[in-house]
Structure 1
């Protein structure tokens, strides 16, 4: 025991911080690393001597001598510990630690001496320096904790590291002073900017700051689970609570459907990071951090469900009396489908949010509306049913708006246009995957039905003006009546419909082709058979050739009678020479 004390005294006295001859260089710097190993070894020997003397010779002057030496050694180690923490601030920043931890073998070394024995040249310089600093800190921490100076070591570490974490969070824009009352009073543009900043900050905070600090605490204080937990908790808890409390405060504010997507962004961010949050803050003393993150998810989920309900209610209560000129796309259709298309982009988080939130409707959605569940399983998922229901609510509202058109044919064209727009938005977005092919097919058939009804009603007089059998023998006066009636009916229908629109090119072509097939062949046969009979009698009654009809029809559905190839006034006697 006396030999251990003598050896310790020689080494410890040499590096005594109070001695006038003390070496001001770091004991753990490169030229002195061998002495650092001896220093730590002498402390272990001194500790064994003290334990023996305390048990067998508690009043020995040697024990007092050993205690004085230990105090001197601990003072030096405190200085070294503090110096390494501050001088290695850059290489021990959370980003470096979190980035290099998984790829640096030296991070798993158990002591200072182990680092010295590894001369691997494959380790990058930055990793080597970071690993050396961690190994030194760990060796010092083990020595101080074993000697009963764990509290001093803990205080030093916490003071330096907390300032680093707090400064990093401040640089990320995490505002500690932002209360619920302040958030509630913010203009939406200001709050949205803070949400965007938070979305960027939270990923860095969790995956870099907190993760890196957890690794560093685990490595430095591997010898004591209690100190390791206390250190990490004291350093990160305050900042983490401010960080994860922000989404909860946002969710508690009054949110309109327009704010839905930022709320979903917040939910998605916390949800994606939850496994890491749970792992990093796994200590019992950090349970409030985990519960704050969970509460944020719960609050955000509640806010989303409320906004979905408000959105549905807003559709049902829409009372606008606006008749879209020409039966075009209603603003409600555009707004709702754009909104639902964006919702489909969040189908993953929405599925989590509404998984236990059944749709409350007077009766189940009709199978013909959703498609066959046997063919399209996805349509039965909660999110698919929810979005399909919102579309159905809107379509029912459009049925009522179609009744505002006095012309029945125009009301059917309005329904065809708007449903075609709905289908196009479904095809162009993730709604296609959620609603399925059967849904699209069923609604395309409805568009065809609406278009057919428009054609049947809108051109019924024109069709009725032609003879049932255009090749049958009829009297000249009847021929003139047919031409006269056709001209009148066609001009009336064309004049009325020249301002009607079909924005979708595919639907527009389909309607024109269907119209041409229904009227064109019958009129051509009649024209070929009777357009030249007793020309001097019938000429004034034949205003249109079959080609003229084609030209006029090509102008339809653009909202102007003179926008296409047939740039002539209807009824202007544009008959071509035969």
Structure 2
């Protein structure tokens, strides 16, 4: 019995142990996932308890750092919330109550300035606390990394379109509405002047202001706010668009279609001669009345911002309203084909611009009007240079022609005759006054010293250049005697053709006498070196000693006549192609040659001719009679008729105009011949 009881007890004990094992197994199986979860949460728990492990001083100080960082951030958030409270007022139409609208807008600007100034500060404080936490190991690295990323994003947002990010674009919308109101005020209150051709004769007075004072006052208020928000340039664009359109509308009645003509639409100035006359009147009216009024209005509207802004606005307005078109038309005239009328029309343009010189300087004299100044300057320069082109090209061409060969026949170069004739015309009463003024300006552009006698001094320089040309050309002749003819011709041309003329009076009697004396000098030296040498060949030496020996005397006469004939033929042949341009000088030169040879030859033949005339070969030695020599000599230096392409142009009335000649001369550089 005792054994059975022990077995039963053992059985129960084993069963209990088995149940406990099963329960333990079940508990272990159930605890496995929880242990895994605890294992995974251990790093987070470690990070959470890290501050407990930080130094005590760091834990104590962290609170103050956090408070300093959170304070500015909270203030920024409070103001940011206030900004949204202004939306309703700023989304309304400023036309209803402009004063109240501008007041609310100013509040928005102040709020945004606060946000702009303090957002960066708040971010800086937050960055400081992050840095503190990191240095003192008070926070987890991953947590700090996330904070840094967030702060970096905030910093980038602050730097990128700051205001739009802060107010959601409310300020931009409000400013756009103000621009719209500015445009409306300008457009609805700008009224074109009723213009017509008769308006030019009536010369109406300029109104005190093209805009009502009340409108200008409202514009001042709008400009103040828009300028404060960096929208001045857009304001100027709106103003220029509205007011320039008004000026254009005012000019429509003047029929300015001709200003749009291109240079390809006409061949010469004559075809638009009437338009050029109108151009001066229209330009004067536009400047003195329309642009003058706009200049004053710009000053009134932008006076508080500054004169530079006012002038800049007016410059843009004037350019868009038509002043550029006026100047372009004038420039087009300067670029047109040359003709006599063009010179006169260029002077008309110059006179118109000169009349408006003070107005242009006052209205368009500022740095903002640089484009208009440049175009005006270019036009004046083109007009003056176009008018002076022929005159200045005279000197240039004279100097250039110095490198060209002189006439092969020793005559007066066409350049010399042209220049002397044209200079006389320039000094005439018709051209001199206006041309003098033009030349004075032209000289000042070259920064040369001003001279009262600018025109005459310039012409004297041309004549001096001609004289230097003559000296240079004379040295290029291989035949020295031909150079004497050349110099004689030109000195006589100066004397005869300039004596009693404007140019001659300018050069003076002493200058003229000097050239007359040079003519005599070269005529004398020419005769001495040519025909003057021939009489020595008809020497009588030895002939009287052989009075008893006719044969010997005959041989000497034959020899001397042969030498004379050969020398005469050679000289005559060579000089038969030479030319003395002036008829009187030609006849006198021929007569001097006749006087140098014929009397000597006649006497010689009378005395010794019979010695050879009875000879079988008499014609070989007694080749010429005195009358034949005289006829041959008087036939020298005749101008040969050569057909040249005419460089002369005539008006419809048939009169030759020196300007036409000069124009043709300079279209293709004149030759010396």
| TM-score, normalization by structure 1 | 0.50
Structure ranking higher in helix proportion: 2
Q: Which has the larger radius of gyration?
A: 2
| TM-score, normalization by structure 2 | 0.44
